[in-house]
Structure 1
């Protein structure tokens, strides 16, 4: 007879797989700390290069300045653009999401660049080239003298963004740069724990990100808002969806038992995008009614707004194609993935969890 004690945490919930100085998620208090600072404070005071410098410095215990990161990422974008024919060779016929995976897998060390910079710098170049190809256009060459956020928008959209748009994307990149031991970060750390190189680890991280339970929910948020359509339809549409037992995209989180702290950071960024194409009042009404309806339907289970709700609205307002949402997420999260992979290589051991066997015995 097989005996299953039922003590194994499902999905490794509550299991500490590593010690880290990179980020901390407090689901009960609704707090995210990245390398010693709250995410809202970082978003207000630091650009993507700044938060990347914090992460890489903490991971390697070597002081890396924001200026060094800006210079290395600018050079890395140039190097990746020069290698685009090679990087895109295996992406023919693939979607933007799948093509990005193939492009990342084709990366390799670059002379004069740390692997971290080579990876993070290449991400927007590959994403931009895939978007332009889908439009029938040629890739846009990077500008190493601009910020990572500004260059990402240039290469993806094919035009010059204004300062407000750059600031909004920069806020997004900072806000989602790292988030504890999420599925993609854990995947990257598992691969790094084998002492595989960073390129293999980050490819694994991106593969995990493409799953709909991790990085694939922003686009359905827009589909939901489009389906609701008007203010008069908010209540009947939401009530009918809940009556059918459907999941409302952009609400609820595996870790947070209160409001996702990143949601308000992104909402504020959208508010500053005056005239940016986002109907924030309508989205806010949808959000408010869904929160009320969820509390009434599940009074004992907190399902509050998560980062994906306002991510979708922000990226859509910035005219980033919906098919590119996941690669743009990776543009930001690559900073965290590379930091976690380096930390795992430096301080960790092979990650090899056990399992509870519940099958037949001979």
Structure 2
């Protein structure tokens, strides 16, 4: 019996939420290409679409925005738990612990979309509350009229974000709402398959996202952009790295063997803000030069930017420290995780894969002796 290590190539579920075609560079949200989603969707619209399988009308969108706004306010109990955590606890562990504390009897099986909205609203507030209290700054109360992404930036920094930054971060968060049967989504569905609650499934997913092989921050791209900024010569830096055989961080992807559709969509959104932020402009010009040089040094390899490249540029532009990259990724992916938990509950079968025993057979050894 041959084992598929890591379950690679093994179909575990049937889903109508998203489709990832790495060979052809296609990502679909409920049958619609991500580039088309980006043209018409705000974070709230895209989240509604993934949860309900249809676009919201004006009334439904207002209702969702009101629900997100209402649940942004953390309870005194959750704040007390966050305040009591060790100062040297990383942000992903803080999110995991805070979300886990939400698991009251209100979340007992079966999961609901209302629960998904509540958790999605809370994660940005958890991140912002923890960041500001650790820095010795007073926590910032949410502003009801701000969008989900605008409010996240406002609660982080205590001032209203400029439009270019809010638009760029919203684009990134829409693109990372969902991405097929990745490790954290699988973890959420495995937990949900036992008829556990949504909070438990989300906690499993957060713990999985924390691992650097899954939710690792694109710090290498930040280092590259910093170096280019200091030298002030994009071609010189990139050509030097390629001549030395170094990898250009932010190029190539383990799933997409051609263009990463999320990077293309994000680039198109950033082009609309060209000239409004120097870091975003630098990223756009770096990509142009890098693709040109990669074709020269590695012809036929089809190495293009991945979503982490532009994500790093966005984080740099809004002055977000690397420690918040994966937590911000988590804040968006809560939508995808909860959509999968809701889908799992509709037609549930507990996951129980087989394993291949490769240890010794003591019975054979005893007979031989």
**TM-score interval (norm. to shorter):** 0.7 to 0.9
1:240-259 paired onto structure 2 within 5 Å: 240-242=244-246, 247-259=247-259
Partner of 2:181: 181
Is this contact kept in 1: 2:185–2:336, CA < 8 A? Answer: yes
| Greater displacement, 161-170 / 250-259 | 161-170
Q: Distance in 2 between matches of 1:81 and 1:275?
A: 41
| Greater displacement, 163-172 / 321-330 | 163-172
Partner of 1:266: 266
Is this contact kept in 2: 1:156–1:320, CA < 8 A? Answer: no
Q: For residue 53 of structure 1, report the CA deviation from its aligned partner.
A: 0.9
Is this contact kept in 1: 2:177–2:332, CA < 8 A? Answer: yes
Q: Distance in 2 between matches of 1:233 and 1:299?
A: 19
Is this contact kept in 2: 1:278–1:314, CA < 8 A? Answer: no
Q: For residue 48 of structure 1, report the CA deviation from its aligned partner.
A: 1.1
Q: For residue 75 of structure 1, report the CA deviation from its aligned partner.
A: 1.0
Q: Distance in 2 between matches of 1:191 and 1:278?
A: 44
Q: For residue 39 of structure 1, report the CA deviation from its aligned partner.
A: 1.1
Q: Distance in 1 between matches of 2:196 and 2:252?
A: 34
| SS of match in other structure, 2:168 | helix
After superposition, the Cα gap between the structure-2 partners of 1:131 and 1:203, relative to the gap in structure 1 and judged at 3 Å, is same
Q: For residue 259 of structure 1, report the CA deviation from its aligned partner.
A: 1.0
Partner of 1:30: 25
Is this contact kept in 1: 2:133–2:139, CA < 8 A? Answer: yes
After superposition, the Cα gap between the structure-2 partners of 1:115 and 1:71, relative to the gap in structure 1 and judged at 3 Å, is same
Q: Distance in 2 between matches of 1:84 and 1:122?
A: 10
Partner of 1:132: 132
Deviations 1:245-273 (A, max 9, x none): xx543222222111110002222333333
Partner of 2:44: 49
Does residue 100 (structure 1) correspond to residue 124 (structure 2)? The answer is no
Does residue 233 (structure 1) correspond to residue 228 (structure 2)? The answer is no
| Pairs aligned (count) | 348
Partner of 1:15: 10
Deviations 1:329-357 (A, max 9, x none): 11111000111011112213111211222
| Greater displacement, 104-113 / 267-276 | 104-113
Partner of 1:171: 171
Is this contact kept in 1: 2:242–2:297, CA < 8 A? Answer: no
Deviations 1:13-37 (A, max 9, x none): 2211111111101111111111232
After superposition, the Cα gap between the structure-2 partners of 1:16 and 1:298, relative to the gap in structure 1 and judged at 3 Å, is farther
Q: Distance in 1 between matches of 2:103 and 2:94?
A: 17
| Greater displacement, 330-339 / 169-178 | 169-178
Q: Distance in 2 between matches of 1:219 and 1:100?
A: 21
Q: Distance in 2 between matches of 1:344 and 1:27?
A: 24
After superposition, the Cα gap between the structure-2 partners of 1:322 and 1:33, relative to the gap in structure 1 and judged at 3 Å, is same
| SS of match in other structure, 2:214 | coil
Q: For residue 89 of structure 1, report the CA deviation from its aligned partner.
A: 3.9
Does residue 147 (structure 1) correspond to residue 147 (structure 2)? The answer is yes
After superposition, the Cα gap between the structure-2 partners of 1:291 and 1:91, relative to the gap in structure 1 and judged at 3 Å, is farther
After superposition, the Cα gap between the structure-2 partners of 1:8 and 1:222, relative to the gap in structure 1 and judged at 3 Å, is same
Q: For residue 203 of structure 1, report the CA deviation from its aligned partner.
A: 1.2
TM-score by length of 1: 0.87
Q: Distance in 1 between matches of 2:152 and 2:225?
A: 26
Partner of 1:209: 209
Partner of 2:365: none
Q: For residue 292 of structure 1, report the CA deviation from its aligned partner.
A: 5.4
Partner of 1:117: 117
Partner of 1:192: 192
Partner of 1:75: 70
